Structure 1
Amino acid sequence: MPQSTVGHPPLPRQAKIAVVGGGSTYTPELIDGFARLREALPLRELVLIDPAADRLDLVGGLARRIFARQGHPGTISTTGDLDAGVAGADAVLLQLRVGGQAARQQDETWPLECGCVGQETTGAGGLAKALRTVPVVLDIAERVRRAAPDAWIVDFTNPVGIVTRALLRAGHRAVGLCNVAIGLQRKFAALLDTAPGEVHLDHVGLNHLTWETGVRLGGPEGENVLPRLLAAHGDTLAGDLRLPREILDRLGAVPSYYLRYFYEHDAVVREMKAGPPRATEVAALEERLLEMYGDPSLDEKPALLARRGGAYYSEAAVDLVASLLGGTGSPYQVVNTYNDGTLPFLPDDAVVEVQAAVGTKGAAPLPPPDVDPLYRGLIASVTAYEELALEAALRGGRDRVFKALLAHPLVGQHASAEALTERLVAHNREHLPWA
């Protein structure tokens, strides 16, 4: 596959990084990481790119103050001009939301009318987000290819697995990244009273559909202490995941919290119907955060940002970009990349989320332990859905949308798939030219 054979010149003494979607309220988390971890990833220039000039001004001002407070010598600029912003970049980070929080609120609402989970990255809502997002991301990536042909593209934009597959299929130098794995690594390290770098995860699956089947000390060949973790801290871990302790014990693994949508689907739907969508809370948080960002005395990321999500997002980003550009990133990282034989029950061009050796030639997945059929079946099923979802995003058409929904394990019934198709198209018409 292309990613395993592409090289990159050694890390420049100081790199240029561009962030597409730089007006996001997440961005100060990223800026804080760039400032704190500048030895791992020296930056000459950071460009925040966003068409929303008002948000960009607020976020850019805080970003410069964070750099100044922490003594970072790099420059931070803001622009609405994508081509100028990415020109000559060593890496381009994508963190955009097509349709904004209004579209997210819809994604979390109309699926519930059909008795299905309303969530922005999985199920019917996740498909809607993919259909809006993939064409926009591919257009951005083509412009990056023209303006910065040697740049790596790091995708945080959800649904990460589908978006990364679209980028790789189009021949782009891309890696997908999520913060679920690094969050669990940090959690396990705290419970084990050890440094996060000593904790290696046997992490297997797809983006937002993963299990930790082993927790090893010191590296891929280290002692597996997961049984010990589950015995001593199973209640804590189950509480964080909002799953019964019994499920973790019977699995002998720690699923990501997104597995709750599968393992307790009906209970989750009832909860979602009973309360406001997460998007409502996020919109209120964003409004308050932007007010705070406009305070000229604020020169650090506010504590409130932790409630927005994205914990350890900056550490994961710095680690990955540093490795891709030849710096001092961790030798093994959990990323989204081509399967390329890693999980033999999936096509080579599926995108999996696994541990990989990361360097200037990209991400080379590590052979995982044997995958239990309990996980294998669900992984294969959702991979098939993602393939159909990508075809719908690239080629459009109600029939392709219907087939993707019918294939999704959280939908599966033809009447539900038909009803969801009608709602998806109705709520996203302005983002779907074919509709």
Structure 2
Amino acid sequence: MSALKLAVVGGGSTYTPELADGLARLRDTLPVGELVLVDPAAERLERVAGLARRILARQDHPATVTTTASVAAGVEDADAVLLQLRVGGQAAREQDETWPLECGCVGQETTGAGGLAKALRTVPVVLGIAEQVRRTAPRAWIVDFTNPVGIVTRALLTAGHRAVGLCNVAIGFQRRFARHLGVDPGRIRLDHVGLNHLTWERGVTLLDTPGATGGREVLPELLVGFGEQIAADLRLPLPLIRRLGAVPSYYLRYFYQHDTVVDELRTNGSRASRVAAIERQLLEMYADPALDTKPDLLAQRGGAFYSEAAVQLVAALLGTGSGSGSGDGAGVQVVDTRNDGTLPFLPDDAVIEVPAAVDTDGVRPLPVRPVEPLYAGLIAHVTAYEQLALEAALKGGYDRVHSALLAHPLIGQAERADRLTDRLIAHNRAHLSWA
């Protein structure tokens, strides 16, 4: 296969050097000849692109790195387009994580009222980008890493785009569990189920060999031997995890310990302010022409194993590699995609996060064993919110925003939804065409 063109919209992100490093290390999996970084922030983009070029050169990777502010020019004839943009930047994130606290609700950029605000800003922009891709690169796959991934991916799929959502939660668990057991990550298969940022690991199979079909269940062993470490990583009580008999994603803490998190955020401030400080420091480091490796500080930005997951997914979609990012065998990876009956208690057009077979024909969720009521109830509740959130993002209007907030399990009270709706619109008016 000839060298591929990969376009990254939001290429000025401080995550991008992580992607460049992954492309260099995994060149045999995904042979990229051109990496196009698209971003309107020119100075930031050039700093990021410069480091990406140096990372590739240090590892003798032949790909060229080009930059542009034009989405149309950047995505033209691309084989795959990766979306990692943040509408409104870190300043908008700071607001998302602050004003909900005034109403006694968690401030977080992917769930609750802050997550809805991000969806309202993001969905119209992403759909505009996707239309550019449809016109100039109609065979390209769109891989969405932009939060809230579930809602954004549902918008893309509803509009008929060749799209799939990606999150690093599953691959993070896979790598952590493999490290605990001292095995190759390819031997870990996850029973991962739920929605983006609302998932549980209900089982962990240790395969006989990477990609094998046979193995043994080791989740109870992990909880006995490494329960304290797992609980500390998630900041959840170990007795809760043992009672569940499953490992929830970190984001379940916003549901299982909502009031505790609100108190912590009021006392310690938002993560957004810490991330903004890390980003400023990273961009200063990226400007150093002697830097040709991703700095250790980048690990504190989040997105661990993002490059591996992205490379494996794109490689599977384009037929250049196995794409077995979940350790679930060749061509299987945990992704965000249409439900289509996989979880029978959800509508077909809901977007779920489960292991799926991935190849050049697309993405097909694997069968999922029945989901326990404790999880199914919350999944169904949040899915209903996501449907209302998408309607609000597509059509606008005070009442639609209010309905989505009222439906969210972390809100669900009329007076609170009133106050949150007023604040959301006030803080995001510049990004809402209908406000």
Q: TM-score category by the smaller chain?
A: over 0.9
Residue correspondence of structure 1 range 396-435 to structure 2 within 5 A: 396-435=396-435
Query: In the alignment, what sits opposite 1:352?
Result: 352
How far did 1:182 drift?
Answer: 0.4
How far did 1:60 drift?
Answer: 0.6
2:286 aligned to which of 246, 271, 293: 293
8 A Cα contact 1:204 1:354, kept in partner:
yes
Query: In the alignment, what sits opposite 2:218?
Result: 225
Residue correspondence of structure 1 range 45-64 to structure 2 within 5 A: 45-64=34-53
**CA distance in 2 between partners of 1:240 and 1:302 (Å):** 22
8 A Cα contact 1:200 1:220, kept in partner:
no
8 A Cα contact 1:202 1:369, kept in partner:
no
Query: In the alignment, what sits opposite 1:318?
Result: 311
Alignment length (residue pairs): 424
Match of 1:285, as an amino acid?
A: I
TM-score by length of 2: 0.97
Match of 2:369, as an amino acid?
A: P
8 A Cα contact 1:23 1:50, kept in partner:
yes
Match of 2:386, as an amino acid?
A: E
Query: In the alignment, what sits opposite 2:327?
Result: none
**CA distance in 1 between partners of 2:396 and 2:71 (Å):** 26
The alignment partner of 1:184 has SS state of helix
Query: In the alignment, what sits opposite 2:328?
Result: none
1:189 aligned to which of 168, 178, 187: 178
Q: Which moved more, 1:329-338 or 1:162-171?
A: 329-338
**CA distance in 1 between partners of 2:215 and 2:88 (Å):** 45
Query: In the alignment, what sits opposite 1:7?
Result: none
Q: Which moved more, 1:56-65 or 1:219-228?
A: 219-228
**CA distance in 2 between partners of 1:422 and 1:389 (Å):** 16
Query: In the alignment, what sits opposite 1:71?
Result: 60
Match of 2:63, as an amino acid?
A: G
Structure scoring higher RCO (CA < 8 A, sep ≥ 6) equals 1
Query: In the alignment, what sits opposite 1:161?
Result: 150
**CA distance in 1 between partners of 2:261 and 2:74 (Å):** 42
Q: Which runs of 5+ in 2 are unaligned?
A: 325-330
The alignment partner of 2:341 has SS state of coil
Match of 1:100, as an amino acid?
A: G
**CA distance in 2 between partners of 1:220 and 1:231 (Å):** 25
Percent identical: 72
8 A Cα contact 1:28 1:301, kept in partner:
yes
Residue correspondence of structure 1 range 36-185 to structure 2 within 5 A: 36-185=25-174
1:400-435 CA distances to partner (integer Å, 9 max, x unpaired)?
Answer: 000000000000001111100000000000000100
The alignment partner of 2:177 has SS state of helix
**CA distance in 1 between partners of 2:24 and 2:187 (Å):** 24
The alignment partner of 2:345 has SS state of coil
Match of 1:391, as an amino acid?
A: E
Query: In the alignment, what sits opposite 1:250?
Result: 243
Q: Does 1:365 align with 2:365?
A: yes
Match of 1:415, as an amino acid?
A: E
1:181-227 CA distances to partner (integer Å, 9 max, x unpaired)?
Answer: 10000000011111111101000000000000000122565321111
Query: In the alignment, what sits opposite 2:234?
Result: 241
Query: In the alignment, what sits opposite 1:30?
Result: 19
Match of 1:266, as an amino acid?
A: D
Q: Which runs of 5+ in 1 are unaligned?
A: 1-11
CA 1:358 to 1:346, structure 2 compared with 1: closer, same or farther past 3 Å? same
